[in-house]
């Protein structure tokens, strides 16, 4: 782990460093496990270098959450030790090696735990890998694997020492005996890139390092070490490593190696469009509440709708619309464009005042569907991006731009509201400026106030992920709050998995 001894900033050189590693040191070499006709045994029955490469890769791979027992490595090596072996045993052994290599490749690409056993109600996986991406990994995963190696190197060098909490706050200009410990802690994680001396003064350089640490951990970036910042500083490196590992597993479930994709990261409240594995457009999002969470999913965005009708889901009908109808709040519903109809096109509507709403218990009893007409009050705004899925969630505009000023943006009913819908539409439907969807045309179409569907000539993968750890293009790692408790849920599953003796 000597590679990381002189890193000046968090992961700033880790990505390029690992990209330059010689193959024999790379913990996963696709060539080892992708070659169908690999030679696993020498003529005398001993293992070839390729076979040893696979065994060493599996044994040293700390990114896997499952037990290494699933590969049966000890049994393989036991059989090899019995050499020379007869031709039939040799064929069986090579077949077993082929199966092990395939299983390892699949575990690296798709994860080894069952996502539906952990999140039975909150995940939908529909991975459609492009042929050129079948043997590669998504850039988000590559960066997170590098982050894992970085923190493993810190752990191998002893991690960091907890800072005693014999103070309330420390800020720039203060003098305290714990200042050197804070400086050493930030130096260990790469946030403080100067020498960690014993100076007792909380100087400007240390304040800047604290701000960087706070920014990476979703804390108030004031440069002050208070209770929340101290708690984050004292999180053991082993817990950080475990957190990175579960995020790696979730990425393996949901992502493939495409270089063009849309990422919506739920805990970060952001959506980013990637081209050639680089972000070209980023924006804030509003995601589902804890009661109505946004699901994790992988899918393909195939079309968008300008001036969309909004169809009320059953939960909204039961909890919002029907109570208003029973209370006679018809004017409010009419003002925001809500109509009741028996047909999905909304051409024939029902007069709210002609129905006895008290006779209906919930949406299951209702013979109507509820739509909202296009317009500035429409809950979907002017644009809706579609990727049909089991949860019936999508990405859309919103008339409530004030929500984007909040730090915690869990205000939707499961769909993702985005800050820059017109810009995203333009990037997707006019990427080269040659198909007519210029900004002027988009606005002209919206002003018609008529619903229109627009097919995407090159459908793009979309990943709605729950990444509580994320590495940006500069190699800096960020940690986000576990807003839905999905991290905790996964840790509980793993602990139960271990108690059942599966590891």
Average pLDDT over residues 187-194: 93
Top pLDDT among 89 and 241 is at: 241
Residue 399, in any domain of the structure: no
Q: Are 172 and 207 spatial neighbours (Cβ–Cβ below 8 Å)?
A: yes
How many CB atoms sit inside 10 A of residue 65's CB?
Answer: 20
Residue 228, in any domain of the structure: no
Please state, in angstroms and rounded to a whole number, the distance separating the CA atoms of residues 395 and 171. 42
Phi, psi angles (nearest 5°) of residue 416 = -110, 120
- 421: CB partners within 8 A, 6+ apart: 381, 382, 383, 385, 396, 397
Residue 267, in any domain of the structure: no
Top pLDDT among 82 and 357 is at: 357
How many C-alpha atoms does 197 have within 13 Å on its Cβ side? 9
Instruction: Give the domain range for residue 319.
Output: 311-372
Q: Does residue 215 surpass a pLDDT of 90?
A: yes
Residue 213, in any domain of the structure: no
Residue 80, in any domain of the structure: yes
Q: Does residue 183 surpass a pLDDT of 70?
A: yes
Q: Are 48 and 41 spatial neighbours (Cβ–Cβ below 8 Å)?
A: yes
Angle value at C-alpha 366, between 360 and 369, nearest 5 degrees: 140
Q: Are 241 and 155 spatial neighbours (Cβ–Cβ below 8 Å)?
A: yes
Q: What is the rounded radius of gyration, in angstroms, for the C-alpha atoms of the chain?
A: 27
- Report the Cα 273 to chain-centroid distance in Å: 14
Q: Are 47 and 55 spatial neighbours (Cβ–Cβ below 8 Å)?
A: yes
- Report the Cα 156 to chain-centroid distance in Å: 27
Residue 487, in any domain of the structure: no
| Helix, strand, coil percentages in the chain from 3-state DSSP, rounded to 5 | 40, 15, 45
Tell me what percent of the residues of the chain surpass a pLDDT of 90.
Answer: 70
Q: What pLDDT is attached to residue 136?
A: 79
**End residue of a domain, out of 73, 96, 114:** 114
- 254: CB partners within 8 A, 6+ apart: 125, 127, 296, 297, 298, 463, 465
Structure tokens at 408: 């915690």
Average pLDDT over residues 196-214: 96
Q: What pLDDT is attached to residue 119?
A: 97
Q: Are 271 and 283 spatial neighbours (Cβ–Cβ below 8 Å)?
A: yes
Q: Does residue 389 surpass a pLDDT of 60?
A: yes
Name the H helices within 217-358. Answer: 227-233, 237-254, 314-316, 322-326, 330-335
Range in 171-175, 334-338, 481-485, 488-492 the model is least confident about: 334-338
Average pLDDT over residues 16-43: 48
Q: Does residue 260 surpass a pLDDT of 70?
A: yes
SS3 339: strand
**Angle formed by the axes of helices 237-254 and 486-499, to 10°?**
100
Q: Are 468 and 479 spatial neighbours (Cβ–Cβ below 8 Å)?
A: yes
Residue 351, in any domain of the structure: yes
Domain tally, the chain: 2
Tell me what percent of the residues of the chain surpass a pLDDT of 70.
Answer: 87
Q: What is the DSSP letter of 482?
A: -
CA nearest neighbour of 489 among 254, 238, 290, 235: 290
Q: What is the DSSP letter of 318?
A: I
Residue with tokens 């029907």: 322
Please state, in angstroms and rounded to a whole number, the distance separating the CA atoms of residues 370 and 344. 9
Strand partners, 283: 271
How many C-alpha atoms does 85 have within 13 Å on its Cβ side? 22
**End residue of a domain, out of 88, 114, 140:** 114
Residue 15, in any domain of the structure: yes
Structure tokens at 45: 């029955």
To which H or E segment does residue 181 belong?
helix 179-188
**End residue of a domain, out of 97, 114, 131:** 114
Please state, in angstroms and rounded to a whole number, the distance separating the CA atoms of residues 152 and 158. 10
Name the H helices within 35-157. Answer: 49-60, 73-80, 87-110, 115-118, 139-156
Q: Give residue 90's pLDDT band: very low, low, confident or very high (50, 70, 90).
A: confident
Alpha-carbon separation of residue 256 from 116, 121, 134, 260, 467 (angstroms): 18, 22, 7, 11, 15
Q: What pLDDT is attached to residue 26?
A: 36
Average pLDDT over residues 368-389: 93
How many CB atoms sit inside 10 A of residue 327's CB?
Answer: 10
Q: Give residue 259's pLDDT band: very low, low, confident or very high (50, 70, 90).
A: very high
């Amino acid at each position: 782990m000597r590679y990381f001894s002189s890193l000046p900033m968090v992961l700033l050189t880790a990505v390029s460093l690992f990209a330059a590693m010689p193959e024999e040191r790379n913990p996963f070499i696709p060539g080892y496990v992708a070659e169908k006709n690999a030679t696993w045994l020498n003529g005398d029955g001993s293992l070839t270098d390729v076979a040893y490469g696979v065994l060493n890769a599996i044994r040293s791979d700390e990114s896997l959450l499952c037990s290494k027992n699933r590969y049966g490595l000890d049994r393989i090596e036991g059989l090899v030790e019995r050499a020379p072996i007869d031709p039939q045993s040799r064929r069986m052994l090579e077949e077993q090696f082929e199966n092990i290599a395939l299983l390892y490749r699949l575990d690296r690409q798709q994860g080894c735990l069952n996502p539906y056993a952990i999140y039975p109600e909150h995940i939908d996986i529909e991975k459609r890998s492009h042929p050129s991406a079948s043997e590669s990994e998504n850039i988000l995963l590559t960066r997170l694997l590098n982050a894992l190696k970085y923190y493993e190197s810190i752990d191998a060098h002893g991690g960091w020492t907890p800072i005693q909490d014999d103070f309330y706050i420390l800020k720039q200009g203060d003098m305290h005996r714990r200042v050197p410990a804070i400086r050493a802690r930030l130096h260990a994680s790469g946030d403080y890139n100067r020498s960690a001396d014993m100076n007792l003064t909380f100087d400007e350089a240390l304040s800047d390092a604290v701000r960087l640490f706070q920014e990476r951990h979703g804390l108030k970036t004031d440069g002050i070490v208070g209770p929340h910042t101290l708690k984050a500083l004292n999180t053991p490196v082993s817990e950080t490593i475990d957190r990175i590992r579960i995020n790696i597993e979730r990425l393996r479930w949901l992502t493939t190696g495409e270089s063009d994709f849309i990422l919506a990261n739920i805990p970060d409240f952001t959506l980013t469009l990637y081209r050639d594995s680089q972000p070209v457009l980023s924006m804030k999002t509003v995601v589902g509440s804890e009661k109505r969470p946004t699901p994790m999913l992988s899918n393909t965005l195939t079309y968008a709708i300008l001036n969309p009708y909004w169809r009320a889901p059953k939960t909204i009908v039961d909890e919002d619309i029907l109570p208003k109808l029973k209370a006679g709040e018809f004017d409010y519903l009419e003002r925001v464009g809500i109509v009741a109809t028996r047909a999905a096109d909304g051409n024939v509507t029902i007069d709210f005042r002609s129905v006895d709403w008290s006779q209906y218990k919930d949406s299951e009893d209702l013979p109507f569907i509820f739509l909202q007409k296009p317009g500035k009050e429409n809950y979907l705004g002017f644009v809706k991006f579609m990727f049909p899925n089991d949860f019936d969630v999508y990405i859309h505009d919103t008339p409530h731009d004030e929500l984007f000023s909040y730090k915690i943006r869990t205000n939707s009913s499961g769909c993702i509201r985005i800050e820059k819908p017109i810009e995203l539409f333009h990037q997707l439907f006019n990427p080269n400026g040659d198909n007519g969807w210029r900004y002027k045309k988009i606005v002209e179409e919206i002003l018609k106030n008529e619903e229109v569907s627009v097919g995407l000539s090159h459908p793009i993968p979309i990943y709605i992920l729950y990444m509580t750890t994320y590495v940006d293009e500069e190699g800096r790692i960020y940690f986000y709050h576990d807003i839905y408790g999905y991290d905790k849920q996964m840790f509980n599953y793993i602990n139960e998995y271990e108690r059942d003796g599966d590891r």
